[in-house]
């Protein structure tokens, strides 16, 4: 084989190895989700209201929340990992549970976002598309359930005038940081009724 042939073969092998590594990473993540995350979580929402999350948008009733988990997003390229709660622009967004503000962050998809860890650091509550933060909110701050986080907006990829809170929930291992958890459908813990899907 010529030198050029060896170079082409080497590049091909490297590309194939990189693709295989990405494929096995995705498989491992889904396997971890199936075993480590879903087993400890209840199959249906707890009956006691104390175990439910506080509805994170002021004035929205639990019955009005719709399960939008895994709806197509990005032109069908990805599933929706959260619950969208429509509300008027500027409606107060409050903490769904007590915790610590881990990160205040601007992103292309979520726009103005806040990540709050639970007191036991096993969960991250994710608030996205905010128009702004509550006055004085800062990283490291402790919050109680119902305490102001920010305001409903249309930042990020929400689209102009599509005012809503994207609320996400992630299961965390003790060694994981605010952006490393595994997405879990928050709907059952918000709506006080069985999973909609």
Supply the CATH number for residue 184's domain: 2.70.70.10
Whether residue 109 lies inside any domain: the answer is yes
Whether residue 46 lies inside any domain: the answer is no
On whether both 112 and 71 belong to a single domain, the answer is yes
The answer to whether 179 touches 75, Cβ cutoff 8 Å, is no
Question: Mean pLDDT score of the chain, rounded to an integer?
Answer: 78
- What is the residue whose two structure tokens read 């400890």? 40
On whether both 91 and 184 belong to a single domain, the answer is yes
The DSSP symbol for 75 reads T
Whether residue 45 lies inside any domain: the answer is no
Whether residue 47 lies inside any domain: the answer is no
Q: Where are the alpha helices (DSSP H) in the chain?
A: 3-32, 187-191
> What is the model's pLDDT at position 39?
38
Average pLDDT of the residues in 55-74: 84
pLDDT confidence band for 71 (50 / 70 / 90): low
Q: In the beta sheet, which residues pair with residue 182?
A: 171
Average pLDDT of the residues in 72-79: 67
Give the closest residue to 90 by CA, choosing from 54, 129, 131: 131
The full length of the chain comes to: 197
Whether residue 96 lies inside any domain: the answer is yes
Number of domains composing the chain: 2
pTM: 0.71
Look up residue 161 and give its two tokens.
């005038």
On whether both 137 and 58 belong to a single domain, the answer is yes
Q: How remote is the C-alpha of 196 from its chain's centroid? A: 18
- Summarised one tens digit per residue, pLDDT across range 94-143 is 999 999 999 999 999 889 999 999 999 999 999 999 999 999 999 999 99
On whether both 57 and 26 belong to a single domain, the answer is no
Q: Is the pLDDT of residue 66 over 70?
A: yes
Domain that holds residue 6: 1-40
Q: What percent of the chain has pLDDT over 90?
A: 45
Look up residue 89 and give its two tokens.
């622009």
């Amino acid at each position: 084989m010529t030198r050029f042939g060896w170079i082409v073969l080497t590049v091909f092998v490297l590309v194939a190895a990189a693709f295989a590594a990405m494929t096995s990473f995705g498989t491992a993540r889904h396997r971890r989700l199936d075993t480590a995350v879903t087993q400890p979580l209840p199959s249906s929402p707890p009956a006691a209201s104390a175990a439910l999350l506080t509805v994170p948008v002021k004035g929205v009733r639990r019955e009005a929340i719709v399960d939008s988990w895994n709806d197509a997003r990005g032109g069908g390229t990805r599933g929706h990992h959260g619950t969208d709660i429509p509300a008027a622009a500027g409606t107060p967004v409050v903490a769904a549970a007590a915790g610590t503000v881990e990160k205040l962050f601007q992103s292309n998809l979520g726009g103005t976002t806040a990540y709050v860890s639970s007191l036991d650091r096993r969960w991250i509550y994710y608030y996205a598309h905010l128009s702004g933060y509550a006055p004085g909110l800062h990283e490291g701050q402790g919050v109680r359930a119902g305490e102001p986080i920010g305001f409903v907006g249309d930042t990020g990829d929400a689209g102009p005038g599509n005012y809503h809170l994207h609320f996400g929930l992630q299961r965390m291992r003790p060694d994981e940081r605010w952006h490393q958890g595994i997405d879990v459908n928050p709907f059952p813990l918000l709506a006080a009724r069985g999973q909609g899907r």
